[in-house]
Structure 1
Amino acid sequence: MTDFAAIILAAGKGTRMKSDLHKVLHPIAGKPMLMHLLDSFGELSPRRTVVVVGDKREQLDEALADRDITTALQEPQHGTAHAALQAREPLEGFTGNILVCFGDCPMVKAETVTRLTAALEGGAKVAVLGFRPDDPLQYGRVIADTDGTVRKMVEFKDASEEERACDLCNSGLIVAHSDDMWPLLDGVSNDNAQGEYYLPDVATGAIARGDTVKVVETDPAEVAGINSRAELAAAEAQWQSFKREEAMAGGATLKAPETVFFSWDTELGKDVVVEPNVVFGPGVKVADGTHIKSFSHLEGATLASGVQVGPFARLRPGAVLEEDSFIGNFVEMKEATLGKGAKASHLSYIGDATVGEGANIGAGTITCNYDGYFKYHTTIGERAFIGSNSALVAPVTIGPDSIVAAGSTVSRDVGAGELRMVRAEQMVKQGWADRFHDTMKKKKAAAKAKE
């Protein structure tokens, strides 16, 4: 198989986003659109990847710091072909197929790139990716024969009325072997309405010298560029739709699919039931047979088989629910493990804690894990029973089979099988309430009489 390298163009200012964040770093399903593209290309094991940068370069350098990716600066900016040429030095010595694409097309699939490179193996010197949108708008046009042989590539501003009537549009993705790509890029001129060096002229140059150029078509949704907040929202909706279909095809039940929102890395097992209005943040793994009820929010959580969550539950990073455990309404967990069969049915906060198998956490229980400077751990033993409205002041250990009485504030360890009751002495004053009400009624009547 021929080696593969990718050049991703991300030097534009993205002014229509009206943002201090670089356009290609805006997230879809919690992951920057550029990272979606890089991960897709990663499936093809590229030998090298170069991101061409310009405006807000420092943001891209920081975002790519932990990846084996080179950035190349385009300054000044004289068009897309000029941008691609900036990658020549980082790709010096590379021999193989080179793909050039835009960083704001996050939906491009690895299989599509494979189809493009297959056209080169079939004899084409250049392959371009085309699509047929419902409204061609001002996309550049691809004039091609029925067998996909390209006769002309033309930007909308330079196209004739006849050419504009063609509905086969240029996505901006182009691939050629390095032996062809660099000479063709060098041959691009700026003799056009904008005075810029256009990337599609790589194909035009190949046609002029008698080479075969092929167009490979794909779904418009795959190559939709993102230049505004509205287009970002549309891409998010498209991605979520794909993910919902994938989840249901994998054996999950989504009772109201359009109300469930996934992160890019959400993992759902078989026979998982997800009720309406559930949101998955990054890092959630859900095993088979789990039931997540309405209005729950999960992030960085791991759920074993048979777990029930919600409704109105919040699982934060580090929450681990073991087999058949249960989190009910208005319960929040963070950096805590709920053991097998354990339950916290309602109105509790469980943070920095380990809850043993079969333990019961009563309503209103709080693990007091933070003193304003440091976090501390709470350990609750197997089958322990924590009564309602209890405060467990960490660090503290509640032993197996022990009982903490309702309304207790526990600041010292509780031994196995013990009952811990921490309450103020009950004081009774007979008739006090009656006298109080009588006095206050008289005062109110007197005040009203003076009005």
Structure 2
Amino acid sequence: MSLSVVILAAGKGTRMKSALPKVLHPIAGKPMVQRIIDTVKSLGAEQINLVYGHGADQLKSALEHNSVNWCHQAEQLGTGHAVQQALPHIQDSDDVLILVGDAPLIKASTLQRLMEVKKAADVALLTVDLEDPTGMGRIIREGDQGKGSIKAIVEHKDATPEQLAIREINTGIMIMSGADLKRWVSQLDNNNAQNEYYLVDVIAMAANEGKHIQSAQPDTAIEVEGINNRVQLARLERAFQREQAEALMMQGVTLFDPARLDIRGEVETGQDVAIDITIDVNVVLQGKVKLGNNVSIGANCILIDCEIGDGVVIEANSIVQQAKVAAHCVVGPYARLRPGTVLDEGAKVGNFVEMKKAVLGKGSKANHLSYIGDAEVGENVNIGAGTITCNYDGVNKSKTIIGDGAFIGSNSALVAPVEIGKNATVGAGSTINKPVPDNNLAVARAKQRVNDNWKRPVKKS
């Protein structure tokens, strides 16, 4: 029996007050509906059916890399009507898992628990108990509430005062056979306060047929909390970030303030226990970030798709993007490593140094105010303050090669393509556009003149 998933993502999200479809608003840098798609992929779903409506072009552009069945709901006539749009893609023998597209924190483990419940039932429904269930559909059970089998779900606006006192609510997540789903959805009507076709009405139909309806619950209520406005979006963002931060701390990472760390991707510490990694406040880890042991990350740093070796110190206010930093390097403060940068062991990139598509060799240093782009720098090279590699002529990029042990004086301009030999020296203030042989000194600057008769200008009266 194969698993088919239906994700309801057609709502406009008016309360978000945004031109962006609600389900494309991000949690930790990823659209909330993409998080749900990624979760169900991990369950081994045979197919994913995405019911869409508002913002179709934006949705298809944002999710084009996913293999989904696009099910268009031209009019939003309720959740039952939404599911109906996916029925042509569903086989009678399928187990059909239905999810809402605005509850992005649902865990695969919770859905697996629900699928296990379905094995012993005709319908499995995910419910949760809330202190304040206002606005939510109530679970109606046979006999004593909370003990009997489920017989119906009543929407808040249609509930009696007695039913409103019930704290167990419907999450909108359920699983049943394709044959049952098709039969029940075809029987839905809109005779209710909203004049909509409620998917939850299939629960009463199942009960009337004598079907066995069981429930499962998530570990925490936040997993099934939906997003309808930006306040709720921020709340779930912080909940997700707190969970990520706690997972890092359980691995041994020291966070100076867990509330001021943002993880927008995956963080790998190399082993189950991270040894002496410290992260200061306001750090953003984005994409795939790998951290070695004994790494120290200062305040206000951004790390994106990068690999940081053992013993690296990244000082405050630095950005490392698509770069590889080997062991025992020092970066920053206020340094920027752009895509393609490689720092070999023990290299140092200091304040206000920018590197792009460049290699800084073992033990080499660029301590201040330099730009190194499209360059290959050897070992134990010293690059003085204000040095730049002039790699772009307005059309093409060219490469600068600096040999081992070279010394580049401050305020030098290396006009690529150019090669500086091993142990060569470039005098401060030079503009170099020709090769410098090994062990040679190159000085290329205007001759200094001193005028001993010069008078400083004075202000005219």
TM-score, shorter chain, exceeding 0.5: yes
Q: Where does residue 164 of structure 1 map in the other structure?
A: 164
Matched, 1:9 2:31: no
Root mean square deviation, CA, Å:
2.3
Matched, 1:363 2:385: yes
Deviation at 1:73, TM superposition (A): 0.4
Matched, 1:278 2:278: no
C-alpha offsets along residues 280-335 of structure 1, whole Å, 9 cap, x if unaligned?
A: 34323334433322222333333333333222222333333333333222222333
Deviation at 1:94, TM superposition (A): 6.7
Deviation at 1:86, TM superposition (A): 0.8
Matched, 1:416 2:416: no
Confirm or deny: 8 A CA contact 1:281 1:297 kept in the other structure. no
Deviation at 1:172, TM superposition (A): 1.4
Q: Where does residue 88 of structure 1 map in the other structure?
A: 87
Matched, 1:232 2:254: no
- Residues 8 and 257 (structure 1), Cα distance of their counterparts in 2 relative to 1, 3 Å cut: same
Q: Where does residue 135 of structure 1 map in the other structure?
A: 132
Give me the whole-angstrom Cα distance separating, in 1, the residues matched to 2:412 and 2:255: 36
Q: Where does residue 316 of structure 2 map in the other structure?
A: 294
Give me the whole-angstrom Cα distance separating, in 2, the residues matched to 1:206 and 1:52: 23
Counterpart of 2:40 in 1: which secondary structure? helix
Deviation at 1:250, TM superposition (A): 2.7
Matched, 1:102 2:100: yes
Q: Where does residue 291 of structure 2 map in the other structure?
A: none
May I ask how many residue pairs the two structures share in their alignment?
A: 436
The aligned amino acid for 1:107 is: L
Confirm or deny: 8 A CA contact 1:124 1:213 kept in the other structure. yes
- TM-score between the two structures when normalised by the length of structure 1: 0.89
Give me the whole-angstrom Cα distance separating, in 1, the residues matched to 2:37 and 2:150: 28
Q: Where does residue 366 of structure 2 map in the other structure?
A: 344
Confirm or deny: 8 A CA contact 1:273 1:289 kept in the other structure. no
Counterpart of 2:175 in 1: which secondary structure? strand
- Residues 385 and 364 (structure 1), Cα distance of their counterparts in 2 relative to 1, 3 Å cut: same
Matched, 1:379 2:396: no
C-alpha offsets along residues 140-161 of structure 1, whole Å, 9 cap, x if unaligned?
A: 2223454583233111111122
The aligned amino acid for 1:127 is: A
Give me the whole-angstrom Cα distance separating, in 2, the residues matched to 1:255 and 1:321: 27
Q: What is the aligned counterpart of 2:122 among 115, 120, 125? A: 125
The aligned amino acid for 1:343 is: K
Give me the whole-angstrom Cα distance separating, in 2, the residues matched to 1:297 and 1:31: 20
Counterpart of 2:184 in 1: which secondary structure? helix
- Residues 339 and 221 (structure 1), Cα distance of their counterparts in 2 relative to 1, 3 Å cut: farther
Which structure shows the higher helix fraction?
1
Give me the whole-angstrom Cα distance separating, in 1, the residues matched to 2:438 and 2:29: 44
Confirm or deny: 8 A CA contact 1:7 1:84 kept in the other structure. yes
Aligned pairs for 1:34-433 within 5 A: 34-91=33-90, 93=91, 95-121=93-119, 123-144=120-141, 146=146, 149-218=149-218, 219-269=220-270, 270=274, 271-282=276-287, 283-430=305-452, 432=454
Give me the whole-angstrom Cα distance separating, in 2, the residues matched to 1:177 and 1:234: 35
The aligned amino acid for 2:376 is: T
Counterpart of 1:279 in 2: which secondary structure? strand
C-alpha offsets along residues 91-145 of structure 1, whole Å, 9 cap, x if unaligned?
A: 3x47332111111222111111101111111x22111222234432312222345
Confirm or deny: 8 A CA contact 2:32 2:104 kept in the other structure. yes
The aligned amino acid for 1:279 is: V
Deviation at 1:268, TM superposition (A): 4.1
- Residues 94 and 326 (structure 1), Cα distance of their counterparts in 2 relative to 1, 3 Å cut: farther
Confirm or deny: 8 A CA contact 2:389 2:413 kept in the other structure. yes
Give me the whole-angstrom Cα distance separating, in 1, the residues matched to 2:339 and 2:132: 44
Unaligned runs of 5+ in 2: 288-304
Give me the whole-angstrom Cα distance separating, in 2, the residues matched to 1:338 and 1:251: 31
Counterpart of 1:263 in 2: which secondary structure? strand
The aligned amino acid for 1:264 is: G
Q: Mean alpha-carbon deviation: is it higher for 112-121 or for 196-205?
A: 196-205
Counterpart of 1:367 in 2: which secondary structure? strand
Counterpart of 2:140 in 1: which secondary structure? strand
Counterpart of 1:284 in 2: which secondary structure? strand
Confirm or deny: 8 A CA contact 1:274 1:291 kept in the other structure. no
Q: Mean alpha-carbon deviation: is it higher for 387-396 or for 197-206?
A: 387-396
Give me the whole-angstrom Cα distance separating, in 2, the residues matched to 1:276 and 1:417: 46
Unaligned runs of 5+ in 1: none
Q: Mean alpha-carbon deviation: is it higher for 349-358 or for 214-223?
A: 349-358
- TM-score between the two structures when normalised by the length of structure 2: 0.87
Counterpart of 1:180 in 2: which secondary structure? helix
